[in-house]
Structure 1
């Protein structure tokens, strides 16, 4: 039974093709060894902090002088976390908004927004730390770590694409995701005066990327096409026409047309019939 559970999880993370499961799985897999080492050192009262090592070698440094030898951290910082709750809340936000994102856009677009959101967060972090004088004195010891910038990119991209999509929240009822994204963004602006100012700057960078990507997409340009695989040419003889798959009565052509309309005009411009077709397709 345990073997079956492991196989199911392995399939979802690495072979399902769903980027939401992939990024949640990768972040969790990377975190587990760190957490186990931290637990052992705590129980044995060992004078060793594994999170200090993680920050030293995998977090993104604010100091430009450290970047030549820590250049790889512009990617690694997105996949390491500084404690369980840091990981938990990032993955929870990614799960909530990522599901909505995947209902309307493609896996390729999810990958693009997640990765470039993290890169934008890194760029904003380094620029902000070096531009604002208030951070100058402690610049050598400032780092940022975590997938928050990537997650913020997904959150804001989703809220920009379908702003009136609503979550049901306990005690609050239905709340449109555009208000949730705005609340996240405002909190990050206010947190620029806190001890985690660098993290907030990275979040803002991710948010800017997510918003910009969807706006450009709605104008007809899809930046994520750089990830698109070019089909190989082959000669086909005497083959029967290939039938496109259908989704509970909705053809793939109809789904593609609806997604194109969303990318150009937004979800709110869909007719009631188009929304119903997309809903049926998403439930397949």
Structure 2
């Protein structure tokens, strides 16, 4: 058991590991709820577990949602069905790897969070405005499907002709895989899981819009990074103050030497692409589209966007 906690701690202490962290959060929440469900069913009864779940799943009832607004976030980290979480996490891993490789960890997080928020908001809007859904009574929703389909559609929008080798089918371009998932969600919007499929559509629209806006120079995920940066700053340890002792006969400083400090800016600056290179890449996008860029050019564009 100790090694499990050590593995979890290691996964969150390493940098550039966002994809595995997202999957790990979902798996840990799933495992904890599975154990709690078994314990509570045999002790307090199913009603007690249903009450516990009301703090995780998003309700369509706006009055109840007003008392639990955080559920618009917790719902897309929560699963109770084994096949549900397996299907979502496999798709998140396959398509998330592409997004992470070409756009970086931060934008993968942006897509996951914004996709879940878009799915939750569209779920609330549809359940409270569409007569057919409203007549069905109160509904609740859990699962990362809205977030995952946002990542899928984003990857397909960014790299439409990238191929996956599917079992029994062979190589298939990811734009067709994403299209099938969207069509299945549209067709299921009138079925028993209407609210969930509507959330999928919200996530898909967000994934498409995010990439299109990113290609035009606007990152819709900046508010997400600002919020995450604020909370991460609360838990980070403050660096100890550097003490400098000035003595004319024996100068001493505990900080980095002046020569080292003078060299570091020029070194880091040389790693960034020049403005001429960026202009050439942007010209290439305007003529041939984003897909025509090489992997190196995409990485340069990504680095420039971080400035």
In the superposition, the TM-score normalised over structure 2's length comes to 0.75
Q: Which ranges of structure 1 fall in alignment gaps of 5 or more residues? A: 280-284
Which of 1 and 2 has greater Rg?
2
Within the candidate set 164, 168, 171, 1:171 is matched to 168
Distance 1:183 1:51, change over 3 A: farther
Structure 1 counterpart of 2:34:
35
Correspondence for 1:268 among 291, 298, 306: 291
Aligned to 2:132: 134
SS at match of 1:164: coil
Aligned to 1:17: 16
Equivalent pairs, count? 263
Is the 1:37–1:50 Cα contact (8 Å) retained in structure 2? no
Q: Aligned Cα RMSD in Å?
A: 3.3
Alignment CA distance shift 1:120-1:103 (3 Å): same
Structure 1: how far apart are the matches of 2:87 and 2:283? 29
Where do 5+ consecutive residues of structure 2 fail to align? 231-255, 300-307
The 1:275/1:194 distance shift into structure 2, 3 A limit, reads same
- Distance in structure 2 (CA, Å) of the matches to 1:236 and 1:263: 43
Displacement of 1:195 in angstroms is: 0.9
1:76 aligns with 2:74: yes
Matched, 1:183 2:180: yes
Distance 1:109 1:50, change over 3 A: farther
Aligned equivalents of 2:13, 2:194: Cα separation in 1: 34
Equivalent in the alignment of 2:147: 150
Q: Deviation per CA, 1:164-218: give whole Å up to 9, x if none.
A: 1110111111111000000000000000111111110111101111100100111
Pairing partner for 2:221 from 213, 218, 224: 224
TM-score by length of 1: 0.80
- Distance in 1 of aligned mates of 2:174 and 2:168: 16
SS at match of 1:175: strand
Q: Hey, what's the Cα distance between the residues in 2 that align with 1:148 and 1:52?
A: 21
SS of residue matched to 2:54: helix
Distance 2:145 2:48 in 1: 21
* 1:138 CA drift (Å): 3.1
State the alpha-carbon separation in 2 of the partners of residues 46 and 267 from structure 1: 56
CA separation of 1:262 and 1:183: change in aligned 2, threshold 3 A: farther
CA distance in 1, matches of 2:292, 2:40: 56
| Aligned with residue 108 of structure 1, among 106, 116, 141 | 106
How far is 1:253 from its partner?
3.6
Cα shift at 1:64: 1.6
**Partner Cα distance (2:284, 2:43) in 1:** 55
Q: SS of 2:66's equivalent?
A: coil
